[in-house]
Structure 1
Amino acid sequence: MALAQLSAELLLLVASHLSQPDLLNVSLTSKHLRVATEPALYREFHPPCLRRRPLSKFIKALLKDPKRPNYVRSLRLPEWETIEPGNMENDSWHDHIIIQAAITGGKRIYYSMTTGWDPYKVPGECLSQGDYDLFTSAAITSGYLRNVTPYAKGAVELKSWEKNYDAYRATLFYWYYFSTANLESLPLDEQFCHLLKAGVDEAYMMLLLSLLTNLRCLSFPCVPARRTLPWARALQRFSSLREFTAIPESYYSNEYHPLSFWVNVLTLPTLELFTAHGCAGGWVQPDEVVMRSPCTRLSDSSSITRLVLESCGLEYGDLETVLGRCRNLKTFRYSIQRYRRATVTSKRIIELLAPFQMTLEELFLDNDSYAYWRRFHHEDVFVDEPFTSLAQFCHLERLWLPTHMFGNLPVAREEYRDPAVISTFAGSLPPSLKEFKLYDSHTYPLLTHPVLDCLVETASVKLPDLTTLEVISSHDHSKEDLNIIEEEREIRRDSGTTFTYKFRWSHFNGFQLPQTAEEKKWYSRAATEYTCWDEDRYAIKSWDALQMPNILSREEVDEKEHEEILTILAELEDAPTCNDEIRELLETEFDEVAAMGLQFV
């Protein structure tokens, strides 16, 4: 049976299993297929760059049909433009390109302090009267906007700084905007209207969020720094959000967002997975002064079952507030930023998890920043207090921990031969474990053959359901002096069952920053290995948002450009009608097709 002859329900079922490029190809073959597959075509919006895929065009497409916003299930937005506090006219910024954008009479004038007039370096586009009315009307309908600022009211002058190329994030430039007027003193509605008219991404992002009431998964892999419009209005209509992921832009420079920054997300009643990187108990200032911003406005209970907090610097009270609102926590991941001082001991973290003894299935902890902090802060060394047992978590299946967090792990050479010590350590682990990953830390003595033998014996006798025991060491002295080699082997228990034992070395050095593209790829991989947030160990849809953005090769960039051209062609009235014609155009007249598409969109 031909694909076009299937019913709309079957077509939609088939389309739900196709990738976006394949789905675009199918939808371009006929009008019937385009209409039938439209819900799947709009199910996700993951633009690689907002400069090439502006939010304004996507919002326009959604507003053409009131059903389309309900089709969007997944939204992943890269770094967006926002207003930053501060004054760009001081001497320290003169080495960067400063561009002045005067919004007067619907025209923008751009001037570079280093290159003079440059009409090609345009941070954004000033909205026309018609588009301004369209977007403000949609904002009113969604409830985000209450009072519209007249289009012709005043002129707002923006100054923007073009950030240098950063291979960690993307292949294009982004912009910061600085307003000569004190926008923070204006009402929220007027701030939104000024940013909307100026073409600043932040206003469009808030408008888009207020429209997507049926969203299931929301991911922000590079949230701009301090200044942002309030989130509460944009999220007030969310009724189906299940997964949320946020990585602040400052995360890559070892800074933080306060956890209270996401309080409006944490209070959503349907949220099941909350993932945040670089969270703290307040704003970290350049002079290392922390402005406390405690997370206290949480509801009495939360539906969160998976809580992932990586490279954070939270206080005990912050963790207590968040964990105290969870009812049935199944997954908890927590690691601290290695360039900051640890603030919560291992024992107190386990005490906070006590209410989840019957529900917790996955536990991944890493509070080891000791080596870096001891190296540069001799007078203020954090002393951890290890826990003594995890046996109370009777349904725990996956456990990843550094060695220093175990209070019963033998630390003296003679203890390795004491059966009582080995038995005590074995009794501190829940027998329900299926996967156990242990890695040595900077605060723990070198791993030796006896301690490895102790782990293998414990797994053989006391952990009947264990399928994988993996030990990771980063100490070169163990490798050189003790002749411990990497190995992987199957070990058979007396009962006849088997488990896999692995020992490997991780050579990641947190103090050496990568330089070349190849080093950066290795750095991204090694960093996840060292902190145990390994992709193949945690299969969730939003896992790719937890990784540092990949460095694109020339071939990958070309492929993304082809996908974008397909998207453009799909919106044209006179689009090609068959895959062969599209393929021929893309292979022979790529530049011409791109120009044609941009004219019509």
Structure 2
Amino acid sequence: MPQELPPLALLSGTRALERIELENCCLRASDLRSLLQGCRGLKSFLYTSRRCEVGPWSPSPAKFVELLRPHETTLHALILDLDVHRYQDKTDDRLALIQSLAHMTALKVLVTVPEMWHYVAVEDDVVTNDSVGWEERHLSVRVPPNVQTLVFGLSEAEKTTSPSQLSNLLSMRTVMVPDLTTLSIGGIEPVYVEEVKRLYLDLEPFMCTGPQELHAEVGPTYVRSVFDTGQCPHNWTEVKWAEQMYVAAPSEICLFARAYERIRRELPR
């Protein structure tokens, strides 16, 4: 039998920790709970799960929402990319997805992928506005009310955000998310990208109202951050962000600004 790992616990003197970044991980819910409960004023949390066929796996998106609930009034930035098909204590897939983050009133920056949410991925457009309870599924009532930067990026599965949900979010922006100034949507298929661009144009009057004008973009925005360990640069200035990973000598740099990395650089340290 494999040796059982000891529980994760914070050392004394680290309870003032305000920023946590965990990449390519498979931490148990019990360890994450211990870690998060030990932080009294957490402001920034980043977690990307390890992709593998065999466990152990990370908790589900819904479980992360539960684990972060003690920080709903202090957390300013949340970046999550989780495997929605393989997760700890697998139950009904519908119960494993994010229903709402509207209770996270302090959140200013939110970066996720649409498939982590209930009724946000593009295939969920089969649910029409005439469906029972559709109003409760509107994205505008489920995102944090004070969010300023909102990113629905691409995961490895490259699933995209529902245009009807985007339409609802933009049309209700001044009422439900008046502080939203940056919206970034991941998409690589030309047909989808053009559809979202047309949606932006059609709803431009809603984007220009409110306290500040909304800047919206669509393109190959990936949430996942993959570090290239095959090259060892002599200094940090030689490292560049190319496609989906950090490389020391990239052959080509995508002209589209990666919202994930841009946001990450701008977070307070």
When normalised by structure 1's length, the TM-score is 0.34
Deviations 1:436-484 (A, max 9, x none): 111244568544543432332243441111111111125x4xx347854
Map of 1:455 onto structure 2: 169
Q: Does the CA-based 8 Å contact 1:508-1:527 persist in structure 2?
A: no
The answer as to 2:74 corresponding to 1:328 is: no
Q: 1:486 to 1:337 in 2, by over 3 A?
A: farther
Once residues 265 and 48 of structure 2 are traced to their aligned partners in structure 1, the CA distance between those partners, rounded to angstroms, is: 16
Preserved CA contact (<8 Å) 2:77 2:109: yes
Which of 9, 15, 18 is the equivalent residue of 1:302? Answer: 15
Match of 1:464 in 2: 178
Q: Distance in 1 between matches of 2:239 and 2:192?
A: 30
Partner of 1:500: 215
The aligned length equals: 240
Larger Rg: 1
Return the match for 2:113 from 396, 402, 418.
Answer: 402
State whether residues 74 and 106 of structure 2, in contact with CA within 8 Å, keep that contact through their aligned partners in structure 1.
yes
Q: Which residue of 2 aligns with 1:415?
A: 127
Residue 527 of structure 1: how far off its partner (Å): 3.2
Shift of 1:401: 0.9
| Equivalent residue, structure 2, for 1:353 | 68
> Could you tell me whether the CA contact under 8 Å between 2:152 and 2:184 is conserved in 1?
yes
Give the structure with the higher percent helix: 1
1:530-541 matched pairs, under 5 angstroms: 533-539=260-266
Partner of 2:151: 437
Q: How does 1:358-377 map to 2 (within 5 A)?
A: 358-368=73-83, 370=85
Q: Write the deviation string for residues 501-539 of structure 1: whole angstroms up to 9, x where unpaired.
A: 11112489999x89999xx97764533799964145433
TM-align CA RMSD: 4.3
Checking the alignment, whether the CA contact within 8 Å between 2:19 and 2:43 is kept in structure 1 is yes
| Aligned counterpart, 1:527 | 245
Q: Using a 3 Å threshold, how does the CA distance of structure 1 residues 452 and 540 change in structure 2: closer, same or farther?
A: closer
Tell me, in whole angstroms, the C-alpha distance in 2 between the residues paired with 1:305 and 1:510: 21
- With normalisation by structure 2, the TM-score equals 0.69
2:26 to 313, 318, 342: 313
Q: Which residue of structure 2 lines up, in the alignment, with residue 344 of structure 1?
A: 59
Alignment CA distance shift 1:358-1:444 (3 Å): same
Post-superposition Cα deviations, 1:402-459, rounded to whole Å, max 9, x if no partner, equal 1122225375334354495255432222211111111244568544543432332243
Cα drift, residue 318 of structure 1: 1.2
Match in the other structure for 2:141: 427
- C-alpha contact 1:303 1:326 (8 A) present in aligned 2: yes
Q: Percent identity?
A: 20
Report the alpha carbon displacement of residue 297 of structure 1 after superposing the two structures with TM.
6.3
Aligned partner of 1:311: which letter? N
Alpha-carbon separation, structure 1, partners of 2:194 and 2:101: 32
In the other structure, the counterpart of 2:187 is 473
Task: Decide whether the 8 Å contact of 1:295 with 1:321 is kept in 2.
Answer: yes
How far off is 1:540 after superposition?
A: 5.7
Q: Retained in 2: the 8 A contact 1:347–1:386?
A: yes
Gaps of 5+ in 2: 233-237, 247-255
Residues 540 and 480 of structure 1: is their aligned pair in 2 closer, same or farther, counting only changes over 3 Å? closer
Classify 1:502/1:381 alpha carbon distance in 2 versus 1 (closer, same or farther; 3 Å).
Answer: same
Deviation at 1:324, TM superposition (A): 1.2
Q: Distance in 1 between matches of 2:8 and 2:230?
A: 37
